[in-house]
A and B are shown apart, each in its own frame.
Chain A
Amino acid sequence: MENLLPELRKEHGWSQQKLADALGVSRQTVISIEKGRFDPSLPLAFRLASLFGCTIEDIFTPDA
């Protein structure tokens, strides 16, 4: 799944570690999501959207 996580994170001035701590997951998880290698669970996707004040669809786009 493609995502805008790196852009959103940089807009907020957050490091990968800070985002990982806020989400309660490992930094490697954030790295893998940003690279599109790991699709987060629905609760994690909702927490991400809530952190950035947007919807899940604003962050993630299904692969064509």
Chain B
Amino acid sequence: MTENNGHTKGNPARTSWGRVRFGARTVPAMVPAIPAGGLLAVLAAAAATLAGFSPQRPLLGAGVVAALMMLPLTALAWAFLVDRDSLKGAAARPEESVESRWYDASAAGAFHDLLTLAGLGTAVLFLTPLDIDGPVALLAVLVAGMLSMGVRYTVNRRRG
């Protein structure tokens, strides 16, 4: 995990999880990412409790929210903090790589899918007595967007 991969002298060795720069020195990216993720998870749990999540057992509710949010928020903190030049295998010009093309094509396709889905959904809600809560509808749109993006990216990648 300490292979240099042609890095210039003075740059840190590339690793799978990368490093974070603090001025002249660097530390493994997970060192600040894990406590940052933990802190964000605690804040999310506090916000959920204040918003009335699990009013009968607030401590248990806060613990569940913190436990569920810990991993994604640590990943988010890592993504914000890591110096991508310290990641093993990271291309210097990702915007010119084929993966960038796949991403753009998938995002454009997913956007059109969402427009179609939102249009059809709106028509159905107007024309039928069906009544759906706003948060549920937004969650459905979010899931559909992520699903469309994921499937399209996978198809583009398989096509090469």
Partner-contacting stretch, out of A3-11, A17-25, A50-58: A17-25
User: Smallest CB–CB gap between A57 and chain B, Å?
Assistant: 20
The CA-CA distance from A43 to B99 in the complex, in Å, is 17
Contacting residues, chain A, for B101 (C-beta < 8 A): 38
User: Smallest CB–CB gap between A25 and chain B, Å?
Assistant: 4
Instruction: Please tell me if the beta carbons of B92 and A32 are within 8 angstroms of each other in the complex.
Output: no
Contacting residues, chain A, for B5 (C-beta < 8 A): 21
Q: Which of B93, B98, B99 touches A24 (beta carbons < 8 Å)?
A: B93
Contacting residues, chain A, for B92 (C-beta < 8 A): 24-25
Q: Does B91 contact A (CB under 8 A)?
A: yes
Contacting residues, chain A, for B99 (C-beta < 8 A): 26, 28-29
Chain B interface extent, by class: 10 to 19
Within 8 A of B (CB), among A15-64: 20-21, 23-26, 28-29, 31-33, 35, 37-38, 40-41, 43-44
The CA-CA distance from A33 to B96 in the complex, in Å, is 12
Contacting residues, chain A, for B93 (C-beta < 8 A): 23-25, 44
Residue of B nearest to A20 (CB): B91
User: Smallest CB–CB gap between B94 and chain A, Å?
Assistant: 8
Q: Does B6 contact A (CB under 8 A)?
A: yes
Q: Which of B6, B94, B98 touches A32 (beta carbons < 8 Å)?
A: B98
Instruction: Please tell me if the beta carbons of B160 and A40 are within 8 angstroms of each other in the complex.
Output: no
Instruction: Please tell me if the beta carbons of B96 and A44 are within 8 angstroms of each other in the complex.
Output: yes
15 contacts between A and B (CB under 8 A): A23-B96, A26-B97, A28-B97, A28-B98, A29-B96, A29-B97, A29-B98, A29-B99, A31-B160, A32-B98, A32-B160, A35-B160, A38-B98, A38-B101, A40-B96
Show the binding face of B for A, using Cβ within 8 Å.
5-6, 91-94, 96-99, 101, 159-160
